[in-house]
Amino acid sequence: MAGYCTGVTVSWRGTAIGEVTEFRVAAGGSLPLARGSNVAGSAPWALDAGTVELASLHTAGTTSTISLSQYGTKGLLSFVGGGLNLTTKAICQTLDVSAKVNDVYRFKSTFKIVQE
Amino acid sequence: MSATPHDGVGTSLVLGNTNYTITNVVITYNDPTADQEKIDVSHLGLTTGNSIKTIDRPLQGSSTDTGRTVQFNYLGRSIIADASTGTCTITVGSGGTGVTSLLSGVAYTVNSSTLTLAVNDAIRGQATIRIARV
């Protein structure tokens, strides 16, 4: 039977992101390459091993919001709960904060999955 | 057994002391405090069985906006003045089964009003009035 998308906690660099309304994880992309090694397949790495798109609410400027200072940083991104358990290393690539009259702040961010 | 549907024959609309020859009436009730008027802030962290989470909008509607309007079309030679006020009474004709009072002496303010004069047609007016919550 299909599982409900409920009870999910999304964390970025150890801090839970508040009020996540939507996310999408698309793994795959660049093939991992061997880095600085003569042994094929050792220490594989890829800077674009997939994309994560995230949408959330929450109060602007709080630690549980993806803020501008997170742009370009690397860390662990995890999705836990509701039958889901997924953790990946990622780089925060884009941040989009929108504000509209008579509405709440809405955040969108994308991450590139890093393999190293 | 389901009730026999009734048409609107015999319905009357009176603004102040004027009984209009109406051809169409649309009455709209809209609760400004209803959930669909709030911001939906539900998120994936909620668990199955929780209620949808909403918060009030930061800005409120005009204090004079009651959320209730009556829009009607009429035949007549005069235009209803915008922003005019008074009391409104609507009585529904029920096809020979008696009449039903829908609105009785409810305060109103005219939101908008038009009068259309066209070749080979009757003079037709249309108005939308905002009525008080009673």
Question: Under an 8 A CB cutoff, do B42 and A21 touch?
Answer: yes
The model carries a pTM of 0.69
Residue of chain A whose alpha carbon sits nearest to that of B39:
A103
Nearest to A19 among B41, B48, B50 (CB): B41
Bridge partner list, B50? none
- Name the minimum distance, in Å, from the CA of B115 to any CA of chain A: 35
How does pLDDT run across A47-90, given as a tens digit for each residue? 788 999 999 997 666 667 777 788 889 999 999 998 899 999 99
Rounded CA-CA distance B108/B131 in Å is 4
Question: Under an 8 A CB cutoff, do A10 and B44 touch?
Answer: yes
Domain boundaries, chain B: 12-35+64-131
ipTM of the complex: 0.82
A105 CB-near residues (< 8 Å, 6+ apart): A57, A58, A59, A60, A97, A98, A99
Taking every pair of Cα atoms in chain A, the longest distance, rounded to a whole number of angstroms, is: 59
Among the residues of chain B, which ranges form H helices? none
Q: Give chain B's radius of gyration (CA, Å).
A: 20
Residue of chain B whose alpha carbon sits nearest to that of A19:
B43
